[in-house]
């Protein structure tokens, strides 16, 4: 009886040991224990451009066996994103990649990350440089805000100089402007530098209307409908801070008989991002030009910096990226598309 009891105990211990090995093996295979965990926070999944960045980040992770992404959709709500950050910190992520909803909340995000000792890479929506510099484990990946406006202005100057869109012959470009966000640095710079570039090229301009449409297609559509009702053919150019708003404006124009491809009624429309939709609109002759913002390039840079930080390495180690004059920001260049 004693021998049997001892044998049973040995067998039971062996079974438990084997079960433990199997469990550990499965966890390692699934990447739930051994992988680096990077919490990725997107300000809004249904933003057309930022979706390309998100997909690029996910694609990088798919090809990297060392990293697990914890993806979060802020749905345009900063309080929701704050909760998501708290949860990720509680889960013990190794790094955060933050496309912040409200850049004014960046200090709070920095404080949370700093208290937890977690590095953070902000991207696309740029906090104040001094806020980023307040934490030695914080960096930014994005674009140079004024560059998009400058390129947009250069493209518009080229089209204006063709001489066929000065409808009233006053040698002044009458335009309407769709602004992304009242306080967003990208929106402010794109708005300012697009016009500044035109003026520096010797082109006189007159703003008929400016609407903050929050990067939104529907809001831009409504603004364009109102402008058409008020100004009609007095509008000579439509300038949008992004392609989503440009597309909304084009829908309103087409409903009014403009930019249909089979009509002489045409108002040049310019956007930013070079989304797939915008490229198709340009091919169809409904849109004039856009500025390519390299979403795939941004996604790759965000992933590379976040992974390095998660491993405790220097953010730029083993990459070809360089900081700009701030020492904390990596810039992804823009390109014209028409």
Q: Over 50: is that where the pLDDT of 38 sits? A: yes
Residues 214 and 261 in one domain: yes
Would you state the structure tokens that stand for residue 144, as one six-digit string? 């140079």
What is the predicted pLDDT for the residue at 33?
60
pLDDT value for 23: 30
Least confident of 27-41, 164-178, 239-253, 321-335: 27-41
On whether residue 5 sits in a domain, the answer given is no
Could you give the C-alpha distances from 250 to 61, 88, 237, 247, 292, in angstroms and in order? 36, 40, 12, 5, 19
Same domain membership, residue 151 and residue 251: yes
152 and 284, same domain (yes or no): yes
For residue 61, is it within any domain? yes
Quick one: 82 and 184 in the same domain? Answer: no
Q: Is the pLDDT of residue 22 over 50?
A: no
Q: Summarize pLDDT for 208-224 with one digit per residue, the tens.
A: 999 999 999 999 999 99
- Determine how β-strand 334-337 pairs with β-strand 290-293: antiparallel
Which is nearest to 132 in space by CA: 185, 205, 78? 185
Per-residue pLDDT for 12 more than 80? Answer: no
In a domain, 169, yes or no: yes
Which are the contacts of 321, defined by CB distance < 8 A and separation ≥ 6?
A: 301, 304, 305, 330
Q: Are residues 49 and 150 in the same domain?
A: no
Euclidean distance between CA atoms 101 and 112, whole angstroms: 16
Number of Cβ atoms within 10 Å of the Cβ of 65: 10
Q: How confident is the model at residue 261 (pLDDT cuts 50, 70, 90)?
A: confident
**What is the mean pLDDT of the segment spanning 116-125?**
97
The model's pTM: 0.76
Same domain, yes or no, for 39 and 162?
no
Same domain for 60 and 119, yes or no, is yes
For residue range 49-98, what is the model confidence (pLDDT) as tens digits? 999 999 999 999 999 999 999 999 999 999 999 999 999 999 999 999 99
Judge whether 263 lies within some domain: yes
Q: How much of the chain exceeds pLDDT 70, in percent?
A: 90
Q: Which domain holds residue 110?
A: 34-142+295-333
Check residues 159 and 26 and name the one with the higher pLDDT. 159
Residues 128 and 185 grouped into a single domain:
no
Does the structure show a pLDDT above 60 at 31? Answer: no
- Please write the tens of the pLDDT for every residue from 164-185: 999 999 999 999 999 999 988 8
Residue 21 confidence (pLDDT) above 70: no
Q: What per-residue confidence (pLDDT) applies to 29?
A: 29
How many domains would you assign to the chain? Answer: 2
250 lies in some domain? yes
Mean pLDDT of 121-130: 95
């Amino acid at each position: 009886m004693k021998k049997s009891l001892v044998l049973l105990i040995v067998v039971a211990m062996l079974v438990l040991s084997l079960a433990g090995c199997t469990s550990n093996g499965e966890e390692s295979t699934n990447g739930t224990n051994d992988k680096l965990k990077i919490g990725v926070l997107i300000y809004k999944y249904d933003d057309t451009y930022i979706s390309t960045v998100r997909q690029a980040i996910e694609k990088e992770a798919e090809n990297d066996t060392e990293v697990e992404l914890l993806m979060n959709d802020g749905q345009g709500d900063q309080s929701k994103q704050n909760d998501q950050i708290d949860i990720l910190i509680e889960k013990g992520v190794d790094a955060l990649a933050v496309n912040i909803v409200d850049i004014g909340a960046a200090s709070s995000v920095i404080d949370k990350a700093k208290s937890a000792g977690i590095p953070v890479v902000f991207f696309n929506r740029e906090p104040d440089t001094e806020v980023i510099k307040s934490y030695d484990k914080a960096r930014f990946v994005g674009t140079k805000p004024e560059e998009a406006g400058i390129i947009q202005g250069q493209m518009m100057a080229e089209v204006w100089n063709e001489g066929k869109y000065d409808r009233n012959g006053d040698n002044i470009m009458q335009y309407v402007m769709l602004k992304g966000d009242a306080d967003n640095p990208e929106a402010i710079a794109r708005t300012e530098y697009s016009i500044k570039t035109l003026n520096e090229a010797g082109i006189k301009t007159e703003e008929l209307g400016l609407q903050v449409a929050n990067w939104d297609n529907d809001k831009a559509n409504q603004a364009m409908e109102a402008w058409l009702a008020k100004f009609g053919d007095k509008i000579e150019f439509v300038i949008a801070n992004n392609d989503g708003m440009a597309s909304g404006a084009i829908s309103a124009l087409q409903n009014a008989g403009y930019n249909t491809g089979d009509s002489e009624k045409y108002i040049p429309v310019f956007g930013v991002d070079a989304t797939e939709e915008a490229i198709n609109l340009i091919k169809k002759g409904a849109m004039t030009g856009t500025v390519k913002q390299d979403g795939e390039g941004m996604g790759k840079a965000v992933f590379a910096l976040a992974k390095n930080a998660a491993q405790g390495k220097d953010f730029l180690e083993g990459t070809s990226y360089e900081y700009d004059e701030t020492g904390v920001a990596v810039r992804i260049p823009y390109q014209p598309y028409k």
